[in-house]
Chain A
């Protein structure tokens, strides 16, 4: 069956360290993958998109990698801050031309302690 999985346990790290979140998928061949941030009581907010022909994408302190062989994306936040505490969701297109539809992982909760 098709699955998209993120770290199920919350990730707790110290301020200043690098946070690494994992998104694994099976039985999909996505052309792109997106990452979103969700704060409690709010809707998800788009952060980054990476395409299948891109190995790595950066935006300020954020870095995303996409390994289509391993079927995995890694999301890194460098020099993490308490304000980075949130739930992070990965999402991929299910392929076969579904015009903008996304499949979301269940999210990983990140807590950055001062």
Chain B
């Protein structure tokens, strides 16, 4: 079974801090994704990556950056955390190509105070 592991289940940070969320997958998937999930808004794509060192902006990239130095690891960075970035963050991976199922981690619930 594919396993996508997110480094923290719960995280509390202060406004203005630089925050790192880590995601690791163990199935050699080419694609990796970062979403945030908010009540009533569903899953919204922040960034995705289809290869090492490659990244594409999703629908809501403002205030975020990403890093993919190794195939199995995809990091989400909040450059200067703000309270409106309090959310559930979900990482996913999939094989290359269309019609591939995405495999999700269990999420990091991030609170910015």
B88-102 CB contacts (< 8 Å) to partner A: 90, 92, 94-102
Q: How many residues of A contact B (CB 8 A)?
A: 24
Contact between chains at B100 and A100 (CB < 8 Å) = yes
Verify B107–A43 contact, CB threshold 8 A: yes
The interface residues of chain A, by DSSP majority, are classed as loop
Residue of A nearest to B107 (CB): A43
Which residues of chain A have C-beta atoms less than 8 A from B97's C-beta?
Answer: 99-100
Q: A100–B43 contact, CB under 8 A?
A: no
Between-chain CB contacts (< 8 Å), 24 pairs: A31-B98, A34-B101, A41-B106, A42-B106, A43-B107, A46-B102, A46-B103, A49-B101, A89-B43, A91-B102, A93-B98, A99-B50, A100-B94, A100-B95, A100-B97, A100-B98, A101-B33, A101-B45, A101-B48, A101-B58, A106-B40, A106-B41, A106-B42, A107-B42
